[in-house]
A and B are shown apart, each in its own frame.
Chain A
Amino acid sequence: DQQVKQNSPSLSVQEGRISILNCDYTNSMFDYFLWYKKYPAEGPTFLISISSIKDKNEDGRFTVFLNKSAKHLSLHIVPSQPGDSAVYFCAASGQSGGSNYKLTFGKGTLLTVNP
């Protein structure tokens, strides 16, 4: 039951270039989307989020784009830095289950930024 899909298990980019991480979802009840970054032996760290009423949210080098009709979102990192190398998880939540806002995660994409 893959309600949130990250089809690229890995991505490698050069320092200074743009990293684009993609995520697709199938559940129309999702109305909030989050990106988490995870280093080995650490817990997921919240990065940026977007509500379904928006199509773009920007925070410094990180921008998330949401295309509701395509059920697709992407995370752009510009410029990419070696310290960005980590696993990036896309997660979704919705209010269909009340106010619990439980998160449904994708499998993650390992981003490697090469110096």
Chain B
Amino acid sequence: EPEVTQTPSHQVTQMGQEVILRCVPISNHLYFYWYRQILGQKVEFLVSFYNNEISEKSEIFDDQFSVERPDGSNFTLKIRSTKLEDSAMYFCASRMGLAGVHEQFFGPGTRLTVL
């Protein structure tokens, strides 16, 4: 069964460093998403991506964040200068894109720890 994959599973970085989190969505899906979950809190929407551009972003997704689909398979989230409060689980998700089909399929997540 096709699944969303994410690498790395755990990333440790120093405050101020850049990180890139990688995702491979399900191959025939058209919409891609990043969510995050800070420990003990709810899963929060960050950004959605369709047709090679951002279709919606949340208030969390400020200028420090960017997303890219560099080739036909990868979908990346970059944080330019990490802060302590960026420590969280980051989940990538994808959706087929059919009208009326809301189900999103999530990857296993990347745990980002900012020291």
Please tell me if A88 contacts chain B, counting CB pairs below 8 Å: no
Q: Are B48 and A100 in contact (CB under 8 A)?
A: yes
> Within the complex, which residue of B4, B55, B102 is in contact with A98, where a contact is CB–CB below 8 Å?
B55
**In the complex, how many residues of chain A place their beta carbon closer than 8 angstroms to a beta carbon of chain B?**
26
Q: Which of B43, B56, B93 has the most CB of A within 10 A?
A: B43
Q: Are B102 and A105 in contact (CB under 8 A)?
A: no
Please tell me if A42 contacts chain B, counting CB pairs below 8 Å: yes
Please tell me if B45 contacts chain A, counting CB pairs below 8 Å: yes
Q: Are B104 and A89 in contact (CB under 8 A)?
A: no
B42 cross-chain contacts in A, Cβ below 8 A: 89, 105-108
Q: Are A45 and B106 in contact (CB under 8 A)?
A: yes
A89 cross-chain contacts in B, Cβ below 8 A: 42-43
Chain B interface size, as a band, is 20 to 34
A107 cross-chain contacts in B, Cβ below 8 A: 41-42
Q: How far is the CA of A108 from the CA of B31 in the complex (A)?
A: 25
A52 to chain B, nearest CB (A): 11
Which residues of chain B in 24-67 are interfacial with respect to chain A, using CB atoms and an 8 Å cutoff? 31, 33, 35, 41-45, 48, 50, 55-56
Which residues of chain B in 71-115 are interfacial with respect to chain A, using CB atoms and an 8 Å cutoff? 91, 93, 95, 97, 99-100, 102-109
B50 cross-chain contacts in A, Cβ below 8 A: 99-100
A46 cross-chain contacts in B, Cβ below 8 A: 103-106
Which residues of chain A in 73-92 are interfacial with respect to chain B, using CB atoms and an 8 Å cutoff? 89, 91
The residue of chain A having its C-beta at the shortest distance from the C-beta of B9 within the complex is A41
> Within the complex, which residue of A36, A44, A49, A103 is in contact with B45, where a contact is CB–CB below 8 Å?
A103
Seen from chain A, the residues whose Cβ lies within 8 Å of a Cβ on chain B are 32, 34, 36, 41-46, 49, 51, 89, 91, 93, 97-108
A-B contact pairs, 13 of them (CB 8 A): A41-B109, A43-B107, A43-B109, A44-B91, A49-B102, A89-B43, A98-B56, A99-B31, A99-B50, A100-B50, A100-B56, A101-B31, A103-B35
